[in-house]
Structure 1
Amino acid sequence: MFRPNRNILNRLSRLNIAQKVAVTRTVTTTTIAQKTAWTSSKANRIVAYATLGAAGLATASYFNLTNPVYNEAPPSPEVVEDPATKLLFPVYLETDSVKKQLIGLGVRTVSFMNMNVYVVGMYMVPGDISQLAKLSKWKNFDKSKILESDECAEEFLEQPFDLTIRLVPSRSTNTQHLRDGFVRILTQRMRDQDLTEDEEKVILKAIQEFKSNFVSMRVKKDSEFIFTKTREGGLKMIYEGRHLGTVEDSWLAKNFFMCYLNSQSPSSQAALNDFASGFEKLLK
């Protein structure tokens, strides 16, 4: 029998969840395998945490899931715990009524302060994953192709895939801080590319629109940003279920994701490593 995760029980205590759930389970595996879509709303996440706190959490191995045997009570949702921050990520995420699977996750760290800032997880529609092997640069894929070159990532992001980055702060912050970090990286990526003056003007306009979508406010630890590269090529941003805006610019959408898939200076090396391993496992 799994013992309840103390971190999650502490969260439940702070949330004043009063319902006591008595559960007795015998589990024959160390993975949790119910395929449950996780929505963006905070209310549903709290309910899921309540289930996890009562039943106990086994960190899911999200590519080789097997079915546990229970004596009673329904299965728990699948989640993965980031080892650096203990933040939880669902294996399946639903955005705009589309179910997506976790590819990998990792923490962004400010190295000179040795401080964890946030955790990012990347999600992809399962049906699109099967299309990756058909791409020329993804044939005979191994993770070194992502870690040592940008060619696979560039080809990947040129496709009309519906992709999502789920970003969860590991400490309280504000939207200005996050916004300025994104704008700085995107602007530098623009400067590093061979673009015409007219192309730069269009891109700068898109970056400015993206910047304006960040409403000035405090951002709590363990809250949720959802950034989606739509099939049409736009970049949609949601915070705690609130749509903050969509910028219809393919350069912006692609380069936002390249911030995390860039092999030379990714925003999170831990995330890039896990993305590469995730793709390798999925394409075996």
Structure 2
Amino acid sequence: MLRQSSFRPLCRPPTAVFHANVPRRTFLSGRAEKTSGRAVEGLNVRRLSEQSNNYYRNRRSFLWSGAIAGVVSFIYTAYKLQQELIKPVKADANLSSSNPLSGTNAADRKIVVYDEDGHEIVPTGNSTIPTFPRTLDIPAYTTPLSPTPPASTDPRHPPTLTTTASHGATTEYTLVGLGVRTVTFINLQVYLVGYYVATADIAALQNALAKKINPIATTLVPNERDQLRAALLDPAESDKTWDELLASGVPARSAFRVIPTRDTDFHHLRDGFVRAIQARAPGLSGSGADDDAFGEAMRQFRGVFNRGSVPKRKELLLVRDETGKLSIAYDGGANKKEGRPAGRQLIGVVEDERVSRALWLNYLGGKKVASEPARESIVEGIMEFVERPVGTVATQVVPVLSAKV
């Protein structure tokens, strides 16, 4: 018989005490998820938002940096390509002497490129006027139909001369050299000037310059070309050489193309031209420049420039014909308000040969010229002439590049 005190029930009855923090399970509630017992970190919404903002901000910065780097690389590549296009052609020591790119002066030759219309142009290296045409078609300006055009009282509406050039006949002129005209000690640019010679008259210029160094030569060898270059750059010898050539009508037809790099006016250009002519006139070979005829010619020259403004990039053309007559044409663009047609218009003619000769010497010879870069470029262009046999159409520029610009 068992003792009553040693008897223990096999199981305890369910207790009626429930903890408040333990949810009661019903038939509608799901089974409680099992927990792994690991510590669970609570989500910080603010921190996650800051991380997201930082990510997208860094992403935008990276994309903008890439875009800016791409644009800078494109601009730099385009700039370097432009510099390669306009810089002189380097000579190759392995080239034969017959190759047009050989020689000690090949680096001074200019490159010919083509514009979108297929015209040959020469880069100038100037940002305002980047190119010059390799050739010009200029009409044979003759004396106006009216002996003396009526003087205009209003410089804004100057008269336009009517010429007797028939059937639109023109003469081709080839660029010899070009350069910029600067003034004051800070080299303020005024205009870009290019020297053109009628293509048909190049042979006579070749012959005259070659005979100056070697009377029996039809072309000059390198050491003879060096002698001619030194003579054309020497202050006294260059003035004498060009004075004699121009007085004898060599080259017969030539022109200076003047393009302002900044807005100016005809009076400003006139003052510079007049000072140059008066400085050169006393030293001209032949008849002196102190007679009444020369004074009348200068009065006519001043009257041609009794006009208004000359905007930058507009063309002023100074043309000397076989008799030495100076014709001045201006292309200011079409203007319906002022009744001005498009294209070059003859604005004046000066018959006295000494005026154009003195003006030409202002660019070609003497101790001080209007543009030293232009004279040096012209001399190098002439070296291209004399290194070829007389009678061949020599040009200053070498067509080594056929690119569109």
Given that 2:276 and 2:358 are in contact with CA atoms closer than 8 Å, whether structure 1 keeps it comes out as no
Q: Which amino acid aligns with 1:156?
A: L
Deviations, residues 115-160 of structure 1 (Å, cap 9, x unaligned): 0000110111122111123224264443222111223312331243
Whether contact under 8 Å (1:172, 1:218) holds in the other structure is: yes
**Bigger shift: residues 90-99 or 106-115:** 106-115
SS class of match (2:192): strand
- 2:123 corresponds in structure 1 to 81
User: 1:182: how far off?
Assistant: 0.6
Residues 165, 194 of structure 1: alpha-carbon distance in 2 compared, 3 angstrom cutoff: closer
In structure 2, the CA distance between the partners of 1:99 and 1:194, relative to structure 1 (3 Å rule), is closer
User: SS of 2:258's equivalent?
Assistant: strand
- 8 Å contact from structure 1 (residues 106, 121) kept in 2: yes
Aligned equivalent of 1:233: 324
- Pick which of 251-260 and 148-157 moved more: 148-157
Q: Answer yes or no: is the 8 Å Cα contact 1:62–1:80 preserved in 2.
A: no
Q: Classify the secondary structure of the residue corresponding to 1:134.
A: helix
1:121 matched to which residue of 2?
194
Displaced runs of 4 or more, over 6 A: 61-64, 194-198
Q: How far is the alpha carbon of 1:76 from its aligned partner?
A: 2.3
> Conserved in 2, the CA contact under 8 Å of 1:236 and 1:245?
yes
Per the alignment, residue 280 of structure 2 pairs with: 189
Query: Residue 158 in 1 paired to residue 231 in 2?
Result: no
Distance 1:153 1:194, change over 3 A: closer
Matched residues in 2 for 1:204 and 1:276: separation?
32
Give how far 1:172 is off: 0.2
3-state SS in 2 of match to 1:143: helix
Moved more, 82-91 or 132-141: 132-141
Structure 1 window deviating more from structure 2 (243-252 vs 143-152): it is: 143-152
Taking a change above 3 Å as real, the CA distance of residues 217 and 75 of structure 1, as seen in their structure-2 partners, is: closer
What runs of 5+ residues in structure 1 fail to find an aligned partner? 1-5, 7-28, 32-60
Amino acid at match of 1:105: L
The residue matched to 2:313 in structure 1 has which SS? Answer: coil
Q: Residue 215 in 1 paired to residue 306 in 2?
A: yes
Q: Deviations over 1:155-186 (max 9, x none)?
A: 33124311010000000000000001111111
Identity percentage over the alignment? Answer: 26
> Which amino acid is 1:282 matched to?
F
Give the unaligned 5+ runs of structure 2: 1-74, 76-83, 87-107, 140-169, 215-219, 332-343, 388-405
After superposition, the Cα gap between the structure-2 partners of 1:198 and 1:119, relative to the gap in structure 1 and judged at 3 Å, is: closer
1:249 to 347, 352, 366: 352
Asked if 1:104 corresponds to 2:172, the answer is no
Paired letter, 1:92: T
Rg larger in structure: 2
Q: 1:152 is matched by which residue type in structure 2?
A: T
Q: Please say which of residues 158-167 and 90-99 is displaced more in the overlay.
A: 158-167
Alpha-carbon spacing, 1:231–1:119, altered in 2? closer, same or farther (3 Å): same
Q: Distance in 2 between matches of 1:120 and 1:207?
A: 22
